[in-house]
Structure 1
Amino acid sequence: MRKRADAVGHRPRWWTELILIGVVYGAYSCGRLLVRGDVRSAVDHGLAILDLEKSLRLNAEHPLNRLFTETPALGIPADFAYASLHYLVTPAVLVWLFRRRPGRYRAARGWLMVSTLLGLVGFSLLPTCPPRLLDARHGFVDTMAQFSSYGWWGAEASAPRGLGAMTNQYAAMPSLHVGWALWCGVMLWRYGRTPLMKVLGVAYPLLTTLIVMGTANHYFLDAVAGAAVMGLGLLLTAPVMRLADGLADRLADRLADRIRTSVGWDRRRNVSGGWETSAGERIPGQRSSSISSVSADDTPTAAR
């Protein structure tokens, strides 16, 4: 059985990791676009979540959204954070783990990937309209549209202007902004060696939760679902990785067998109805010559 990189504490190959992460993220991005769902269902799901929160006396989104809308000093930085940190901090933590905690990297990366794919399942089953896209009578303001002149985004989520069609604006449940931030926080808390790293590990997911609600991009229950997806992903990571390792080992063994068979076949040639073998090679069932079996050590002492 092959020893995995994380089992022996060696750093995986950076280029294989880059390819793997690129493929998974590409599949995730394409999947988001393919599971948009219809607008009516997404709006109904968003209103259902809002009604559920009201019944549970959860209404953090409205006061936070008003605060960010009425205070540009908060709203503008929050918009920049929403549009960028999700795509900067997560890769930075991955690189940090790769370099500083190679023995922990593979399991952490596996957790992130499994949870991300679970989030894609959530987008597929429950397309949800974010608060900012609800009718104005529901009391939400799209801060990113309000302050779009300050950044690179337009009125369509955090996508750069003109690229709104390349994003799924109804992929709100669960919030992977919160899910990925929670993953980053756990990594910083567990493997950071300084008090500052641990403080950042706690602060980053909490700040992200406030930002996604204040900018009206997610409901509070979206954030809860994002944390739940990460929890489920953590439970599934070990069995999924064992399955992936088993499949990879079987594939590698089959490939090695085919190579050995191919090389062995090439070394034999059919000559006049018989087989010719290389020096020292014996066809199965063939008896060795008694003369050739005498070794150098069997030579009489006098003749040495």
Structure 2
Amino acid sequence: MPHATAATPSSVHRPRWWTELPLIAVVYGLYSVGRLLVREDIPAAVEHGLAILRLEKALHLNAEHPLNRLLTDHPALGIPADFAYASLHYLVTPAVLVWMFRRRTAAYRAARTWLMTSTLLGLIGFTLMPTCPPRLLDAHHGFVDTMAQYSAYGWWGAGASAPRGLSGMTNQYAAMPSLHVGWALWCGVLLWRHGRHPLVRAAGVAYPLITVLVVMGTANHYFLDAVAGAAVIAAGALLTRPFMRIADGVKDRIRSVSARTPVAVTPVGSTIVGDGCKTSAGERIPGRRTSSADSSDAGTDTAAEVSDDAPAAAR
């Protein structure tokens, strides 16, 4: 997992928030737009979902069914789980990012790059493998959409965690990998590594585990989706340092080019009179102060003129 070293200058100085916010917004915007633009090939997505389900049953990893029945039969568990699925994803992750920015400056840049890299890798996964979540499979497969079952208690409708009427603004077949799990794991690692209070570190362990149970119990993800989300975070961690070196190289190149670019500085109040034109010998610019050299030159020229005229006067 990436960690900052005290030797690098970028880890000493805190990044400016007014440059960080647009950068994060651009990356998240690309992720959101790209997620929506991915073609929803529903037949292929359904087949991918069923293939995952068959593989899990063959490996005896099918924990989704019992968890889903637990939340379906017990609203006291199902409703909080739905709220957790619909909100924590968008609350805890930015909160940890801000905490790193304010309290762990030396490690912030690596943490931010890690999150962004992993998110873009997740988008590639959505593109290459659209996957139908368990809740959208045919009913005979035994899954119940708890978000729809308990929608009267929250702001969401039948379209996953999207607000009512806005389900068309989300790609419901972007289940593989689970970035709910991936982002939760990112939060957990940072809380465990950089938290000083035992409760903070305990939250770093509990949050990813609870997220895995929630995404499976609400029938939004398979267990292998969660595994893929963790794999994406691991891959993002491995790519963080190379990406930071590339970014530093680009910055250094831009700075060197800027430093080599000459900048003409004109003193305040100065005026370029000649503008590149030469004056003839002896010509004086009005208002110009005459130097001693000019005076001596002028005196020599005057004396020469007198000497030339003297013989003519004698004649």
In 1, are the aligned partners of 2:70 and 2:217 still within 8 Å (CA)? yes
TM-score by length of 1: 0.85
1:263 corresponding residue in structure 2: 264
d(CA) in 1 for partners of 2:23 and 2:8? Answer: 16
1:241 corresponding residue in structure 2: 244
Match of 1:187 among 179, 190, 193: 190
2:219 corresponding residue in structure 1: 216
Specify the SS of the correspondent of 1:271.
Answer: coil
Cα deviation, 1:155-196, whole Å, max 9, x if unaligned, reads 001001111111111110000000000000001000000110
Residue 121 of structure 1 deviates from its aligned partner by 0.5
Match of 2:179 among 158, 161, 176: 176
In 1, are the aligned partners of 2:40 and 2:171 still within 8 Å (CA)? no
In 1, are the aligned partners of 2:11 and 2:105 still within 8 Å (CA)? no
Structure 1: gaps (5+ residues) = 275-304
Residue 251 of structure 1 deviates from its aligned partner by 2.2
In 2, are the aligned partners of 1:36 and 1:171 still within 8 Å (CA)? no
Q: Residues 5 and 100 (structure 1 numbering): CA distance in 2 closer, same or farther, change over 3 Å? A: farther
d(CA) in 2 for partners of 1:244 and 1:185? Answer: 26
1:7 aligns with 2:7: no
In 1, are the aligned partners of 2:67 and 2:216 still within 8 Å (CA)? yes
d(CA) in 2 for partners of 1:163 and 1:252? Answer: 45
AA aligned to 1:202 is V
Specify the SS of the correspondent of 1:185.
Answer: helix
Residue 255 of structure 1 deviates from its aligned partner by 3.3
AA aligned to 1:7 is S
Q: Residues 131 and 252 (structure 1 numbering): CA distance in 2 closer, same or farther, change over 3 Å? A: same
d(CA) in 2 for partners of 1:73 and 1:5? Answer: 51
AA aligned to 1:272 is C
Specify the SS of the correspondent of 1:189.
Answer: helix
Match of 2:74 among 40, 55, 71: 71
d(CA) in 1 for partners of 2:168 and 2:41? Answer: 15
1:302 corresponding residue in structure 2: none
Specify the SS of the correspondent of 1:12.
Answer: coil
Match of 2:54 among 47, 51, 54: 51
Specify the SS of the correspondent of 2:258.
Answer: helix
1:284 corresponding residue in structure 2: none
In 1, are the aligned partners of 2:11 and 2:109 still within 8 Å (CA)? no
Residue 32 of structure 1 deviates from its aligned partner by 0.3
1:95 aligns with 2:98: yes
Q: Residues 229 and 265 (structure 1 numbering): CA distance in 2 closer, same or farther, change over 3 Å? A: farther
Cα deviation, 1:102-130, whole Å, max 9, x if unaligned, reads 11100011101100000001001001000
2:107 corresponding residue in structure 1: 104
Residue 5 of structure 1 deviates from its aligned partner by 5.7
AA aligned to 2:170 is T
d(CA) in 1 for partners of 2:278 and 2:139? Answer: 88
In 2, are the aligned partners of 1:189 and 1:197 still within 8 Å (CA)? yes
2:286 corresponding residue in structure 1: none
Cα deviation, 1:14-34, whole Å, max 9, x if unaligned, reads 111111101110011001011
Residue 63 of structure 1 deviates from its aligned partner by 0.2
d(CA) in 1 for partners of 2:263 and 2:14? Answer: 33
Specify the SS of the correspondent of 1:47.
Answer: helix
> Identity percentage over the alignment?
72
AA aligned to 1:100 is R
d(CA) in 2 for partners of 1:132 and 1:236? Answer: 33
Cα deviation, 1:70-116, whole Å, max 9, x if unaligned, reads 10000000000000000000000011111110111000111011000
TM-score by length of 2: 0.82
**RMSD between aligned residues:** 2.0
User: How many residue pairs align between the two structures?
Assistant: 270
Match of 2:159 among 126, 140, 156: 156
d(CA) in 2 for partners of 1:121 and 1:63? Answer: 31
1:138 aligns with 2:141: yes
Q: Residues 67 and 265 (structure 1 numbering): CA distance in 2 closer, same or farther, change over 3 Å? A: same
Specify the SS of the correspondent of 2:264.
Answer: helix
AA aligned to 2:107 is R
Structure 2: gaps (5+ residues) = 1-6, 280-315
